[in-house]
Structure 1
Amino acid sequence: MAAGPEGKLQLVQRHVRAFPDFPKKGILFRDICPILKSPAALTAVTDLFEEHVRSHQLQVDLIVACAGLDARGFLFGPLLAQRLGVGFVLVRKKGKLPGATVSVAYDLEYGSAEVEIQEDAVAPGQKVLIIDDLLATGERQQSGTELQQKVEQADIQGCMVVIELRDLKGADRLKPHNIFSLLQY
């Protein structure tokens, strides 16, 4: 395992593949599947997220993973929550959670979606950190922040992602929330 943060970051970067014209022409898809296949790379992602939270002394009660048409953010959230000793909450595609839910619709870089959270998932004032695999246009993460603030009145500590596609300016959409991304393209 790479010892320092720079070595860990290089390990993560080596495990991201680029696929041009997927899922449609003109999109360069950044694939994180090799990270998940490599125990060392997955540990490095979790380590880097944990180091960021601890070095910035973020107070966190819950990790919230946002997912629209896919659930890749779910793959990192529980690992980080376990490391930090905090809970984990799902934001899912509409119709996938039981019980009373609240939903928000949003646009994607190549489609649209609606996500929801269980009404009682986050208590008012709880400190949450939103985690996802990718920040592109920011629509998915913005829907998560809207759900947290509007319905649960949570205190959002920031958003963390493995990959940020800077040209799509997703971080601008999420202001004033702090964004931490491991890799930027």
Structure 2
Amino acid sequence: MPLGVRHAVTTNLKDIIRTISDYPRPGIEFRDITTLLGDARAFRRAIDELVQPWAGTKIDKVAGIEARGFILGGAVAHQLSAGFVPIRKKGKLPHTTVRIAYSLEYGVDEMEMHQDAVRPGERVILVDDLIATGGTATAAAKLLRQIGADVVAACFVIDLPDLGGAVKLRAMDVPVGTLIEFAGH
């Protein structure tokens, strides 16, 4: 590209998300945010929009769910001058952990976090790339509450409302913020 020529700016984040059909199995429309992460303007816009509702409020920690939630959550934590808490799959953290089991469409899994990652009463925002059925996000919110966190919200770039995950979080009195929606699964 010649010097001084720029790509047209896409104002719709939805247009930047790549959809991969039949991944990880037939019938699934996988929403791939790596295209958003690779576009500096879109990535900045997504982080700014995730941060905006919390600007000027006291947020102690941002908890990110492995793995894309680490990327987004770390950037959100930085912008809010908050600490970052990784929520990982079982066996990946080196210090004493607390753990929770949760159901997936295809079985049961476990996630954990360091037991001293959040002090009781700290205000925490949960961040991940996508909310679908809500199994992982509701388990993460329960895990945070188990150690005394005040889960003030859960934020996602993408909501798949047909799968009901955001409704499940709201039923737990966790406000949910999303930037875009895709129909189906």
SS at match of 1:172: helix
- Percent identity reads 37
Equivalent pairs, count: 173
| 1:25 equivalenced with 2:26 (yes/no) | yes
Tell me whether 153-162 or 13-22 shows the greater mean CA deviation: 13-22
Distance 2:25 2:107 in 1: 11
Which residue in the other structure is 1:143 paired with? 139
TM-score by length of 1: 0.88
Distance (whole Å) between structure 2 residues aligned to residue 8 and residue 123 of structure 1: 41
The 1-side partners of 2:166 and 2:44 are apart by 25
- Counterpart residue number, 2:81: 85
TM-score by length of 2: 0.88
CA contact (8 A) 1:8 1:48 kept: no
Which of the numbers 131, 140, 157 marks the counterpart of 1:162? 157
The residue identity in structure 2 corresponding to 1:17 is R
In the TM superposition, structure 1's runs of 4+ consecutive aligned residues that sit over 3 Å from their partners are 109-112
Counterpart contact for 1:58–1:157, Cα < 8 Å: no
Cα distance in 2 for residues equivalent to 1:36 and 1:109: 27
Q: What runs of 5+ residues in structure 2 fail to find an aligned partner? A: 1-8
Question: For 1:34-63, what per-residue CA distance to the aligned partner results, in whole angstroms no more than 9, with x for missing partners?
Answer: 011111111011111111222xx6431100
Alpha-carbon distance between aligned partners in 1 of 2:99 and 2:112, rounded to the nearest angstrom: 4
Find the counterpart in structure 2 of residue 3 from structure 1: none
Offset of 1:24 from its aligned partner?
0.3
State the 1:31 CA deviation: 0.8
The one-letter code sitting in structure 1 at the alignment partner of 2:19 is A
Q: Aligned-pair distance for 1:172?
A: 1.9
Question: Match for 1:136: what amino acid?
Answer: A
Three-state SS of the structure 2 residue aligned to 1:148 is helix
For 1:52-91, list aligned pairs within 5 A.
52-54=53-55, 58-67=57-66, 71-91=67-87
Equivalent pair of 1:163/1:184 in contact (CA under 8 Å): yes
Give the match for residue 44 of structure 1. Answer: 45
Distance in 1, Cα, partners of 2:112 & 2:26: 30
- The code of the aligned residue for 2:175 comes to N
Q: 1:8–1:45: 8 Å Cα contact kept in structure 2?
A: no
How far apart are the structure 2 equivalents of 1:127 and 1:8?
A: 34
Query: Is the radius of gyration larger for structure 1 or structure 2?
Result: 2
> Superposition RMSD on alpha carbons, in Å?
1.7
> Displacement, 1:161?
0.2
Conserved 8 A contact 2:88-2:111 = yes
CA distance in 1, matches of 2:93, 2:153: 24
Query: Deviation of residue 9 (structure 1)?
Result: 5.8
User: Which runs of no fewer than 5 residues in structure 1 stay unpaired?
Assistant: 1-6
2:94 alignment counterpart: 98
Question: SS in structure 2 opposite 1:157?
Answer: strand
Q: Secondary structure at the match of 1:97?
A: coil
